[in-house]
Chain A
Amino acid sequence: MIGTFLQEEQKEMVPSIHDSSPAIFERLTSHCDKYQMFPLQEAAEEDSPEFSWGAKKGKGALNKDVQFYKSFTYAGVEFNLYDCVYMYRHGEEEPDIGKIVKVWETKTWKRIVKVVWFFRPTELTHWLGNIKVLGNELLLASGEGVGLSNCNPVEAITGKCNVVCISIDRRNPQPKDRDLETAEFLFYRTFDVGTQEISEKFPNSIAQIEVEHFFNKVTDLKQPLHYGGKGSLDKPHSFGGATVKTTLKDDQPGRNTQSTLPPVTLVKQTKSSTKTDQCTTISQCQVTELVEKELNKVPISLGRQGRQGNVSETDKTVARTEVKHSFCTPSTNAVKKRKLQDLSDTTPFDQHKVMKSTSQVIEVTTRVKEGASTWFKERPWNDRLQEAQERGTLVLLENLDPSYASTEVEDIVKHALRQTVSAKMVQHNTFSNPLNGKAFLIFKSSEAAETAIFELKRRCLMLGDGRPVVARKGTIQDQVKSKDFPGHLSIGKLKFQKLGEEMRKAVSTSHYAQSNTIEHELAVEWRVLQEQSSLWWKALRQEQAAEIEQLNSKLKNPIKNSV
């Protein structure tokens, strides 16, 4: 009997997630009701933040005592109808985001707002499955049912939220790049709470409010901005390649209806680290950089080009980066073209040349495998490592480019230190430094190894992208032959003989944890710890990367790799 608490009798090892989907959805939407329990008396307390009504909208049709409003000021911030706000849910860390669709005051002076909810992608993983989502994407609730909207007291609002709609629906005014930059969240899809479907089509009304109110506010300038205005093809050279240009011409009267359009822009924008060191972090550069890389996507910079007429209005910095940007793209293109030509012209497979392009720079070419060295490769790597450590011929190289192949490392050592070695890159795991590649080298003799370490310590061997190679004596630990693994528990008292064949099998076979067992609760605790630890590592690596970047910028003449 006891055993069943720990391992369910599982005829079917894999539980179907679909069984629990109503449960997930209930959990998701039950929180909406929690707001109703928010004590409304708090509105009357003296120490609540300041509140004042704004413009009136009209009285209720049914109930004359209800007064609707268009705006209000709460805690010093002005909220208008159809603004997006953060609403704090007691006990949750992340606030919910909703759009105010109605504001009113009841006859007992209670101030209520009705909000239509936005879902975070994490709340909808079951329905999203493998579909990619943008980093700061939300999904608008639509349809009929629980979870669409709630009426909450004004006091539940914790702040304004900047949500921009990037849907290409023709009723939606397209956001400017500036809006995209300052947007905290984006949305272009809806989640129907009744049919539980995700769709990019917007219905005509949501929660009895016309859908136009959910799109971006129409600015006083013009109607929904259509791209592909006449001036948009002025600078064809700032696009990536020939194919891009032609597609531009084909789709001339601008509005392209590819649904891949929005995600492409914004994926790049939400990434915080970029590999380019030529363009700054202004979104325009990122957008077109992406365009270069993915030539088959119709360029979003159509939108950018539409603004070129307004360059004088925007910031000087923006204009400068735009100019700078139009310089940086042709050069990167040129570099790419040149590289391809180089490869076809030169003969990199000419084995014995070591080309010195600048005074000290050595170009590492592939070396020929000497016939005599084939015996070198025969024994399995693990044994050789052990032996090398004993004999003192093992060296660990660090700060290599992590994408090097082992043979490339061997070539580098051959050219730089004039030594033939056997090298293998160390495999990365979840806590390896993503910027830093390591390799084990086995030298032919311990003296060779020591001189190499000494040389690398004393002088600086720089790799192409400004990394000095760090070397030290290699040490490897023996594989610990323990059977214990923290987290795998067993109850000492349970006598396995009593359990029987089936029980024993159930322990050792792989399975999902059923959600009503103790096993599941314990497993969830482990998952939490796992996620925590990955966050720690992420934070550490970010800091370390920043330090390296700082130093890197101080280097005066790094020779950039083509990689």
Chain B
Amino acid sequence: MERCLNCLYFGEVYFLHLMEAVFEEYAAFENKVKRSVYIDNLSPLAKESVIKAALDQFGNVIQVTLIRTYLELKGMGRAALVEMQNADEARTIISEIRNSPFMISGMPRPVRARPAVVEMFDDRPRKPDRTIMCYWLKSNDPDFEVATKMKRIVRNHAKEANFLLKRQLEEEEQLAKEQSESLSAIYNKYELVQHVFNSGTATRLAKHYKMRTDVRQ
């Protein structure tokens, strides 16, 4: 598009053609957004190919892009944008993953799927019919104070968000720890039971007490 800008401007027909191209590009982008799904709670081990293979059962996966977050805190999952062939497939994925836990590259933490929004794509084109205005405020303008307050509040919000994120990660780690403990307890229990059968203790006890056993391996 910017190459066109370098050309000379001549004639309304050319101009309209240009405008059309801009609108079309944005429309194509919006279509892409509708067809895309945002998946998070992914393990760092999940590569693009794994995700593609996982979601292939829902339809035709066109592309998978992993999203980089620049505040990578430890324990935060990865996220990916998956572009499907049509919007229906995208919606199916979202509702299916919502209803039954779906694991990718590890368990039991399931992934989460959301519909993609425009802001998730950092290579988005400009919105065609928008002109941006900006202005510097004079310091004696009554709005100046309000604006400074707003700046401060924006910073505060960012800090609050950070805090909430940390707490969320703590909760997640807590749950993981609990589950890990209960899982190893269950495993030990089953191992014990298996051991009892394997080593013949059960059959011996049964003989002693004159009871029948039904030992199935």
Contact = CB atoms under 8 A, between A and B. Distances in A.
User: Are A and B co-members of a single complex?
Assistant: yes
A343 B120 CA distance: 28
Contact of B172 (A425, A489, A529): A529
B175 interface: yes
Interface string A1-38: 11001010000011101000000000000000000000
A130 B92 contact: yes
B127 interface: yes
Given A429-B40, A487-B108, A488-B106, A464 B183 contact: no
A310 interface: no
A220 interface: no
Nearest to B77: A485
Contacts of B151: 399, 460, 468, 470
Nearest to B100: A512
Most buried by A among B101, B121, B148, B183: B101
A409 B120 CA distance: 16
A551 B144 CA distance: 12
Interface in A11-67: 13-15, 17
B9 A491 contact: no
A488 B45 CA distance: 11
A334 interface: no
A476 interface: yes
Contact of B122 (A369, A424, A487): A424
A538 to B, nearest CB: 11
Interface string A425-462: 11111111110110010000000000000000001111
Nearest to A477: B72
A335 to B, nearest CB: 12
A540 B43 CA distance: 26
A287 interface: no
A412 interface: yes
B154 A5 contact: no
A158 B130 CA distance: 52
Contacts of A467: 150
A524 interface: yes
Contact of A530 (B5, B41, B184, B217): B41
Interface in A481-522: 481-489, 491-493, 507-513, 515, 518-520, 522
Interface string A526-551: 11011001001100100010011001
A476 B70 contact: yes
B121 to A, nearest CB: 7
B6 interface: yes
A529 B173 CA distance: 11
Given A526-B101, A529-B171, A529-B172, 4 more contacts: A125-B95, A350-B9, A478-B72, A537-B164
